Amino acid sequence: MNGMRYELFIRGAFGSEVERMGDPAQLAEAGLFNISAEINKIKAATAYAMVIYKNNSRDTDSERMEEFIDEVMYATDFEQIDSIIREFNILRENS
């Protein structure tokens, strides 16, 4: 499980100038990633960041991005969320 991948993903959605916990909800923090009591906040932050990326992207598979958002919301653990973030990033990079 990669808390830094999560943190950088959230920070990236809000722009390069956003620092740790600099997002509006202050959830861009790797340390939160493995705290079970925070999983719903992590899922919400990840899904919100995905929507931002989706809306800022032109040539990306919009339908698949929507599927990733749903997958995050139904994730039951941090490993699933990390895997979804990795796959989402691959889709973004290949578009």
pTM to 2 decimal places: 0.93
Report the distance separating Cα 27 and Cα 32, nearest Å: 8
> Which tokens go with 93?
């990079």
Q: Which residue range is the domain that position 86 belongs to?
A: 3-93
Question: For tokens 């990079």, what's the residue?
Answer: 93
Type of residue numbered 83: S
What are the pLDDT tens digits along the chain (95 aa)?
A: 689 999 999 999 998 788 998 899 999 999 999 899 999 999 999 999 999 999 988 766 788 999 999 999 999 999 999 999 999 999 998 87
Report the distance separating Cα 94 and Cα 36, nearest Å: 32
Q: How many domains does the chain have?
A: 1
